[in-house]
Structure 1
Amino acid sequence: MDITPALSAILVQSHSAKAISQETKRLTQTLDAFLKEAYQINSSLNSLLTYLRAIRQPYLSSALPPRRSHQAASTGVGPLQDIPTHLTDPQRTAIDESTSSLLRDLNGSIVNLSSAADLQHDTASKMLQKKYGRPTSILLRWAAGSDGPDRDAGKSDEQIQEEGRVRTTTDFRSAVLWYLRMKLEVAARTQGGMVDQRVERERHKQLSRLSDVRNKGIRSTSLPTKQGNGEDGGVGDTGDSYGAIDLRGHDRYDPTHDSSNGDKNALQLSEEQVQLFETENAGLFSHFNEQLSKITVAEKSLLEISSLQQTLLGHLSVQGEQIESLVDNAAQTGEDLKKGNKELKRAGERGSTAKMVFWGTAGLCGFLVTWDLIF
């Protein structure tokens, strides 16, 4: 007879770990609206940070995309599988706009969540005050046996528990909001750093293009002219004479010190050269206008990120003040607990004296009744 299935069932029943309860699986479904909204904001922040870290390398890369690439570039915050390996300038601008818009939306969600938490706290406090009132009079403190400014003096145990529950909920929600604001600041700082590096690289690229090799064949007017070997003794070909000379940044022509202005053999530009220079100047002008528009868009993104960071810093400073007040409240609660223990000890002593008086009085009365019955 094979007893393996029965033995396996006994071992599983006796030594296996407990299965995960359905209550744990439905934990996110039973949370209140505050925690659900905070969880959603935290998930969006995690997705944004993951996307920014993944898009950083192609965003800052200066390599040109391949000509025959049919890869669909993603310009919004999406799954990591859609992140391209090369980006164009319009795609980078679209990424800046989408991430800035998402950061503003997340900041607005956190502000709305904070306002809702404050409103709930005020409502709960007013309901407690309406239900129990404010036992702050000197008579009630004296009746409660408190000599110092105890905020729990004259309150019932139920009231103290409910007020402690409200304070704990408020402290927990403040910590959640502080965590979300810190994470939002990290995301804003990450995007701002990427935009800063992009602007810095564009600036260095433009500076390097100023010394492009396209100006290598331009002849400097400050160098002496070189005569050709022709029979007419005229000026030779300028491209053959100075084609191997690098004149970038070395032309220090000053018309006030030029002694060859009136010389008939001075260098004169032909119409083709003038046309070439005009074409190059127009191309450079359009190129710099395009780069200037890109830098303007990047500066606009930086200004938006800077304003968002200032708003976050303001919220964090307020949150820091609230945390300091919570620390002070915790210290005050510790002092109140010490005072409460002392009062309980005094009440215990007073209770013992009262018991002795009661039992002494009861014994005397019993003795008198017995004496009256006997005699």
Structure 2
Amino acid sequence: MTDITPDFNVCLKEKGSQPVLKRELNIDKIDSFLQEAYTINNRISDLTRELRSIRPSYLSTAAPSRRRHDSNHARPLTDKERDAIDAQSKQLLRQLNGKITELKQVEDVRNQAAESIALKKRNQGGLGALGRWAAGGAVTAKSPEEAAEEAQRKTIAAHRESVLMYLQSKLEEAGRVQSNMMEVRLSRETEKSKSVLSKSRQSAGGIPYAQDSGSRSELTNGVTDSSNAAEYPEELDQEQQQLLAEENNEMLKHYNTQLDQLNAAEKGILEISELQSTLTANIQLQQEHIDQLVQDSYLTTENVGKGNKELKRASERRSTAQAVFWGTCAFCSFLVVWDLVF
């Protein structure tokens, strides 16, 4: 992004204002909300960067290397390592989502406390409310100071809502990277299983019993004649039958393992998809809340300006309330003096 600070400073000098001074950010001197937000943002950035760096190794279909000196990001990963990465990533995504939710809850409590304190100060105003009435305004009307404080609270609330929305959008992006990796892995595992099945069927051509699938199905259904049924034991000797049984057992174990991996990958994808849906819904709600806060801030600013104008008009002319108030004070003073003199 282009730095337009020098041009902006030129405009400020033309208007007689002070230029913008460049200040280095010191995280230790900012408030606790922004400190926690920076911490969460750094963790999300580290997670996203790590996922993107291991993506080639994670999705590689080459056989894992047995050499220990290879770097973790340069060699293909084993299935156990991929499963560990999936589990750690999902756990970290849930933890970061919980941190953002906790930060939002703390901010909501702070806003409620600030509003309660402001309302309590107004209710305890006493003479301030009487002064507003005497000046011709309503008792419930806000003073310029109160309106300015309210505008400041709404501006801070809108800014922090934007920070929370930014964190959730970055977390959603990290979840999207992880979900995409798992989806690609799932599709490749499925294609790999289909390829293994096709190769196993082709390799079964050397076994007479496994070669004739039609005759096998007829034998299974019990519709083959006795002469054909008697030929199979002669075509398959003891060694071939044992080899076929071992291949069937190995194939069954392989597909059970593949099925467990596919089910685990699908479950992980569903969990991340649910998290992404929750984050998307929260982002939409926060966007609506931010828009409302910004609109309220604009209205408060307008009300402050109108309030200043009304106060100026009230100071220029005596209202009915002022006349009644000062007339009552004068009449009471006259009665006191009359009672003392006579």
TM-score, structure 2 normalization: 0.73
Deviation at 1:311, TM superposition (A): 2.5
SS at match of 2:184: helix
Partner of 1:266: 231
SS at match of 1:288: helix
Q: 1:305 to 1:134 in 2, by over 3 A?
A: farther
Asked whether 1:285 is paired with 2:291, we answer no
Asked if the contact 1:260/1:266 (under 8 Å) is kept, the reply is no
Asked if the contact 1:45/1:187 (under 8 Å) is kept, the reply is yes
Name which of 166, 180, 197 aligns with 1:179.
166
Structure 2 matches for 1:23-38, cutoff 5 A? 24-25=23-24, 27-38=26-37
Deviates further, 299-308 or 337-346: 337-346
Deviation at 1:88, TM superposition (A): 0.6
Unmatched segments (≥5 aa) in structure 2:
1-20, 319-342
**Counterpart-to-counterpart distance in 1, 2:229 and 2:312:** 118
Asked whether 1:157 is paired with 2:144, we answer yes
Deviation at 1:261, TM superposition (A): 3.1
Deviates further, 122-131 or 312-321: 312-321
Asked if the contact 1:185/1:309 (under 8 Å) is kept, the reply is yes
**Counterpart-to-counterpart distance in 1, 2:53 and 2:174:** 13
Partner of 2:119: 129
Asked whether 1:39 is paired with 2:38, we answer yes
**Counterpart-to-counterpart distance in 2, 1:272 and 1:144:** 110
Asked whether 1:323 is paired with 2:290, we answer yes
SS at match of 2:108: helix
**Counterpart-to-counterpart distance in 1, 2:203 and 2:288:** 61
**Counterpart-to-counterpart distance in 1, 2:215 and 2:187:** 28
Partner of 1:368: none
Unmatched segments (≥5 aa) in structure 1:
1-20, 74-82, 224-248, 352-375
**Counterpart-to-counterpart distance in 2, 1:97 and 1:258:** 51
TM-score, structure 1 normalization: 0.67
Asked if the contact 1:28/1:36 (under 8 Å) is kept, the reply is yes
Corresponding letter in the other structure for 1:316: I
Structure 2 matches for 1:198-217, cutoff 5 A? 198-212=185-199, 213-217=202-206
Tell me: higher relative CO, structure 1 or 2? Use CA pairs within 8 A at least 6 residues apart: 2
**Counterpart-to-counterpart distance in 2, 1:145 and 1:324:** 34
**Counterpart-to-counterpart distance in 1, 2:229 and 2:51:** 65
**Counterpart-to-counterpart distance in 2, 1:97 and 1:133:** 54
**Counterpart-to-counterpart distance in 1, 2:226 and 2:130:** 108
Structure 2 matches for 1:167-316, cutoff 5 A? 167-212=154-199, 213-219=202-208, 253-255=217-219, 261-262=226-227, 266-268=231-233, 269-316=236-283
Corresponding letter in the other structure for 1:132: R
**Counterpart-to-counterpart distance in 1, 2:143 and 2:307:** 13
Larger Rg: 1
**Counterpart-to-counterpart distance in 2, 1:349 and 1:141:** 15
Asked whether 1:105 is paired with 2:72, we answer no
Q: Where is the helix percentage greater, Structure 1 or Structure 2?
A: 2
Q: 1:303 to 1:140 in 2, by over 3 A?
A: farther
Asked if the contact 1:60/1:194 (under 8 Å) is kept, the reply is yes
Aligned length: 290
SS at match of 1:70: coil
Deviates further, 39-48 or 311-320: 311-320
**Counterpart-to-counterpart distance in 1, 2:109 and 2:289:** 16
Deviation string, structure 1 residues 27-73 (Cα, Å, up to 9, x no partner): 21111111100000001111111111111111111111233453364
**Counterpart-to-counterpart distance in 2, 1:105 and 1:182:** 15
Corresponding letter in the other structure for 1:38: A
Corresponding letter in the other structure for 1:177: L
Q: 1:341 to 1:250 in 2, by over 3 A?
A: farther
Corresponding letter in the other structure for 1:43: N
Corresponding letter in the other structure for 1:167: K
Q: 1:300 to 1:128 in 2, by over 3 A?
A: same
Corresponding letter in the other structure for 1:200: S
Deviation at 1:264, TM superposition (A): 8.6
Partner of 2:106: 116
Deviation string, structure 1 residues 220-267 (Cα, Å, up to 9, x no partner): 6887xxxxxxxxxxxxxxxxxxxxxxxxx8888534797653259734
Q: 1:195 to 1:222 in 2, by over 3 A?
A: closer
Superposition RMSD in Å = 3.3
Q: 1:112 to 1:276 in 2, by over 3 A?
A: same
Deviation at 1:98, TM superposition (A): 0.8
**Counterpart-to-counterpart distance in 1, 2:86 and 2:181:** 9
**Counterpart-to-counterpart distance in 1, 2:208 and 2:108:** 74
SS at match of 1:65: coil
Corresponding letter in the other structure for 1:35: L
